[in-house]
Every structure is written in structure tokens, then in C-alpha cells.
Amino acid sequence: MERQEYEAIKTRALELFEKANIVLTEHEKATLEVADFGLNTIEVSGLQLITYVNTNRVCAKELALLPNQTCPEHKHPKRSFDEGKEETFRCKYGQVFLYVEGPETSLRAVDPPLGDEAYYTAGQEVLLSPGEQYTIPPNTLHWFKAGSEGAIVSEFSTKSTDEEDIFTDPRIKRVPEIL
């Protein structure tokens, strides 16, 4: 991702945090991560996040999704020290369409990114509006997409090891490359 695009996306994410009345320190604003997953379609497939804390036991993050932006399907696999990351998503702003493994929802509200449907297999829909939350068990395939106004999600989890996440799409690179 080019530096100019990174900065523009970062600005839009910070505007979403403001709309959700999420107060951030200058350090948090400066360290906001913009992940395009190496797909170079950040407004379609991407995620912006701030990590408040990530210790050996707990993790807390704020996730910002631009309007209709999708975080690609992935899971948090078994690790040497546990069964995998367990995470709870709590919607703070907008709507989030979360898809997890389980019985497929027959009439889904949103679709995966056009052309990438083969990489989205979790089909049980969970709609999260402000104040609603859902806990994703370890090693469970999931993906999520913001509604038309974007979304802010607080994530509370066990230790996060993002570099160990397994994505369905083999093209994905979890660590962003800023040029």
C-alpha cells in the first residue's frame, strides 16, 4: 500500500472512532494499524485497528471498518499454550455482519467481496448493532463486514498472535507493507 493511501485510510478510521465517541490518545492514533492484507483493495477488504493491551492472558482492541469493508475469513488456530484465541466482538457504532461456522443463513444480508466468494465459507450470520456482542470460540472460521455507515467494534480476547491467524484466502499477507 502506498503511504498516501495508508494516511487517507487512517484519517477515515479516526473519523469513525470520533463518530463512535471513542477517545484515543495521541500515541494510539499514531500507532493505528491499517491492514490491507496484501490484496490492495483496502476499501473492499481491510481492517483498521488499535491495540490497547495484549498480554500473555488478555487482549483488547478497537476495530474500525469503513463502509461495506470486509475483514477476510480466518481462524485463530490451536497454539502451544491454548486451544486458540477466543474473542468477543461488541459493536459500538454502525452495524457489523459477522459470519461464523455453523448452519448457513439462507438469506444473508451481505455478500463476500465480488470475485472472492470461494474464500468465504462460514455462512451463519450474526448481526451486531450498537450494544450487541458475540463470542467466537477458538479455531472457528469467521469473517465480518461493516454496514453502509462503517462500524466500530471492541474486541476482547485471549492473547492475540495475529501472525498465526490462518486465512482461507492464500493470497493474504497479515503484516501490512507500506511503500
Taking only the tens place, the pLDDT of each residue in 159-171 is: 999 889 999 999 9
**pLDDT of amino acid 176:** 65
**pLDDT of amino acid 174:** 73
**pLDDT of amino acid 128:** 98
Answer whether residue 178 is part of any domain: no
Answer whether residue 84 is part of any domain: yes
Query: Against a cut of 0.85, is the pTM above it?
Result: yes
**pLDDT of amino acid 173:** 86
Answer whether residue 175 is part of any domain: no
- The label of the residue with cell 471498518 reads 65
Answer whether residue 173 is part of any domain: no
Q: Structural domain of residue 138, as residue ranges? A: 3-167
Answer whether residue 158 is part of any domain: yes
**pLDDT of amino acid 107:** 92
Reading the block at residue 65, the C-alpha cell is 471498518
DSSP secondary structure string for all residues of the chain: --HHHHHHHHHHHHHHHHHTT----HHHHHT-EEE-TTSS-TTTB-EEEEEEEE-SS-EEEEEEE-TT-EEEEEE---BTTBS---EEEEEEEEEEEEEESSSPPSS-SS-PPTT-GGG----EEEEE-TT-EEEEPTT--EEEEEEEEEEEEEEEES---GGG-EESSTT--SS----
Answer whether residue 94 is part of any domain: yes
> Would you write out the chain's pLDDT as a tens digit for each of its 179 residues?
888 999 999 999 999 999 999 999 999 999 999 999 999 999 999 999 999 999 999 999 999 999 999 999 999 999 999 999 999 999 999 999 999 999 999 999 999 999 999 999 999 999 999 999 999 999 999 999 999 999 999 999 999 998 899 999 999 987 666 66
**pLDDT of amino acid 19:** 97
Answer whether residue 179 is part of any domain: no
Answer whether residue 97 is part of any domain: yes
We report the CATH number of the domain holding residue 14 as 2.60.120.10
Tell me how far apart the alpha carbons of residues 128 and 140 are, in angstroms, rounded to a whole number: 18
Tell me how far apart the alpha carbons of residues 24 and 27 are, in angstroms, rounded to a whole number: 8
Count of domains observed in the chain: 1
**pLDDT of amino acid 11:** 97
Reading the block at residue 109, the C-alpha cell is 444480508
Beta-sheet pairing, 87-100 with 133-136: antiparallel
**pLDDT of amino acid 167:** 96
**pLDDT of amino acid 32:** 96
Query: Do the Cβ atoms of 157 and 79 come closer than 8 Å?
Result: no
